[in-house]
Structure 1
Amino acid sequence: MDTSLLKCFLILADTQSFSEAAERLNITQSTVSHKIARLETLLGKQLFERTTRSCMLTSDGRELVEHATRVIRSIEEMEQSFKPDLLTGTLVVGVPDDHYLFVPLTEALKNFMLEKPRVGVEIRGGLSSDLMRDLRQRNIDLAVIRDVPATQDSDVLCIEKLVWITAPNWVPPNDGVVPLALVRGPCAYRGAALAALEQNGMPWKCIVTCTSLQGVFAVVRAGLAVAVVTEGDIGSGVQSAPAGGFLPPLPGSSLTIRYADKQPTLAARALARTMADVLTQMTSLA
């Protein structure tokens, strides 16, 4: 069987659109339709329910997705083993711009590029919410995503502890209103802080809104506010607030690697394994 038929099938199953599948495969819509028709003839099964606007998998189509994925992945892994120079292309990867994550992950990405010089890598740092948007819009190929509260998915790489940070000499305010330093926008730390305070009926006020954690740390070090970060991000001049004290408990957070495509390329999966190895090693050393 021509494996290009299976690849076309998987792309169409992912997009549910002949036009999108054609764009991703860089072929015409009629070629996509012809390939799917050939595959259906070969298998003697109808794989899609077609309408004027979309196409949906039939029960046979859903069953084929699992088989086709295994076949394509096995072929790609065989090619990588016997012809590693086939690992080519350009990948755009999103990474949370937390300092304690960004440094080891970018070092791992540098090593990946040295080992696989025919794969170009562009790194984009940002908030998980922004990285998820970029994945949906297909502006990046894969990303390390932080979820708060932690998810229970099987593909979670590690669980992180969220903590309140304060200046060493900070004391709770007499009026009970919690002063906050927050990152602008839909930041996971911001959401965790506000949710914890509101769930415990604690009033709060925003002292400063920053575009990055660097500004947040500066305000906290000055004793003007408190903030939420991961335990690994605690730096000099700040400390974690004691558990069971004035500030409420926080949920955990989790890190996963997510792809723009349901059927990521061999290069994308190889890069994901490199990052996953770093994250799991960090967890084992913590």
Structure 2
Amino acid sequence: MNLELLRTFLAVAEGKSFTAATQKRFMTQSTVSHQIKRLEESLGQVLFVRTTRSCKLTDHGEILFTYARKIINLCDELDDKFSEKPLQGHVSLAAPEDYLSLPFSKILARFTRIQPDVELDIRVGLSETFRAQVTSGEIDLAVLAQIPPTGEGQPLYRDKLVWLASEDFHLGTHKSVPLALVPSPCLYRKTAIAALDKQNMPWQLALNCHSHEAIKSAVISGLAVTVLTEKDLRPGMKVLTQKDGFPDLGESELSLHHAPHLSNEAALLLSQQLLEHGTLLKN
């Protein structure tokens, strides 16, 4: 039985809602729903009765809950018992702000639990800034966005680039496209401006800000449009497509990069865990 599906099942059951599970599992609600559906199909039983405000375990769900909790507890205990030898030292890891969030924290928390004597130095910034630093060996590891995908580094996952706007945004009410962007050398900024210029679409900079969270707030409020990935879609936003007059943007790839000739055992172990659990970062 798939342990990740069991973990999602427990998160829904314990939180009594799919929304609560998204926060605990660091997934989108659609991913949680899909995983529960897969589990129900594999067992041939309905596990939850859903209402508009909460969800309740069925009789079969109650049975699974008892066993799932025991299974997950034993697996976590076994994983810790047979984890890698204790290490010491220092690991520097860099990543863009919009990726170094809850899913990343989950992976890092597991690493520090297994390796409590390793000091983590987490740096947040732009991919283009960290690219030179990891190449020079100034930092051990860097998670970098690549637009378009180049195949460099070790791939973690790909995501579709999208135009995000408030739910009531209509291009026809604007003389030019109002943009909310991170300053150069942000890849999203470069991609957005190049795509609009290629289609001769006039644009203006409504917000120039280093914080992706502030940009998302500006989008939801209706102040501006931005370019991010599908995983960044939030309630109050919509995706603008070619039907709305906006050009297709292609994909972004997230990849892991090492300093040349990296021999730091702790950094290599963290790298391994990031690669093993890289798909979590997309949720």
Same fold? TM cut 0.5: yes
| Equivalent in the alignment of 2:88 | 88
Bigger CA radius of gyration: 1
Identity of aligned residues (%): 32
1:176 Cα deviation from its structure 2 partner: 4.9
Return 5+ residue gaps in structure 2 as ranges. 1-81
| Equivalent in the alignment of 2:182 | 183
1:243 Cα deviation from its structure 2 partner: 4.2
SS in 2 for 1:157: strand
TM-score (norm 1): 0.64
Q: 1:156-203 CA deviation, whole Å, 9 max, x = no partner?
A: 221111110001111104565211111122111111101111222222
Task: For 1:93, give the aligned amino acid.
Answer: L
- Aligned pairs, how many? 202
- Give the conservation status (yes or no) of the 8 Å contact 1:210–1:216: yes
The reply to whether residue 125 of structure 1 matches residue 131 of structure 2 is no
- Give the conservation status (yes or no) of the 8 Å contact 2:147–2:253: yes
Q: 1:116-135 CA deviation, whole Å, 9 max, x = no partner?
A: 12322121122112222332
- Give the conservation status (yes or no) of the 8 Å contact 1:165–1:241: yes
Alpha carbons of structure 1 residues 82 and 246: separation in structure 2 relative to 1, 3 Å: closer
Alpha carbons of structure 1 residues 263 and 282: separation in structure 2 relative to 1, 3 Å: closer
Q: 1:203-246 CA deviation, whole Å, 9 max, x = no partner?
A: 21111101111221122122121100111111222121134321
Q: How far apart in 2 are the matches of 1:156 and 1:215?
A: 28
Task: For 1:96, give the aligned amino acid.
Answer: P
Q: 1:67-96 CA deviation, whole Å, 9 max, x = no partner?
A: xxxxxxxxxxxxxx99823x3210011122
| Equivalent in the alignment of 1:30 | none
- Give the conservation status (yes or no) of the 8 Å contact 1:95–1:102: no
Give runs of aligned pairs for residues 46-61 of structure 1, distance below 5 A: none
Q: How far apart in 2 are the matches of 1:92 and 1:189?
A: 25
Q: How far apart in 2 are the matches of 1:135 and 1:82?
A: 28
- Give the conservation status (yes or no) of the 8 Å contact 1:192–1:251: no
**Runs of 4 or more consecutive aligned structure 1 residues displaced over 4 Å after TM superposition:** none
- Give the conservation status (yes or no) of the 8 Å contact 1:150–1:251: no
Cα root mean square deviation, aligned: 2.3
Q: How far apart in 2 are the matches of 1:218 and 1:269?
A: 37
1:153 Cα deviation from its structure 2 partner: 4.2
Alpha carbons of structure 1 residues 272 and 175: separation in structure 2 relative to 1, 3 Å: same
- Give the conservation status (yes or no) of the 8 Å contact 1:176–1:202: no
Give runs of aligned pairs for residues 1-286 of structure 1, distance below 5 A: 84-85=85-86, 87-98=87-98, 101-153=100-152, 155-174=154-173, 176-282=175-281
Alpha carbons of structure 1 residues 82 and 215: separation in structure 2 relative to 1, 3 Å: closer
- Give the conservation status (yes or no) of the 8 Å contact 1:189–1:228: yes
Q: How far apart in 2 are the matches of 1:240 and 1:82?
A: 43
Task: For 1:113, give the aligned amino acid.
Answer: T
Q: 1:24-71 CA deviation, whole Å, 9 max, x = no partner?
A: xxxxxxxxxxxxxxxxxxxxxxxxxxxxxxxxxxxxxxxxxxxxxxxx
Q: How far apart in 1 are the matches of 2:84 and 2:220?
A: 53
Alpha carbons of structure 1 residues 212 and 280: separation in structure 2 relative to 1, 3 Å: same
SS in 2 for 1:84: coil
- Give the conservation status (yes or no) of the 8 Å contact 1:172–1:178: yes
Task: For 1:277, give the aligned amino acid.
Answer: E
Q: How far apart in 2 are the matches of 1:83 and 1:256?
A: 24
Alpha carbons of structure 1 residues 262 and 251: separation in structure 2 relative to 1, 3 Å: farther
TM-score (norm 2): 0.65
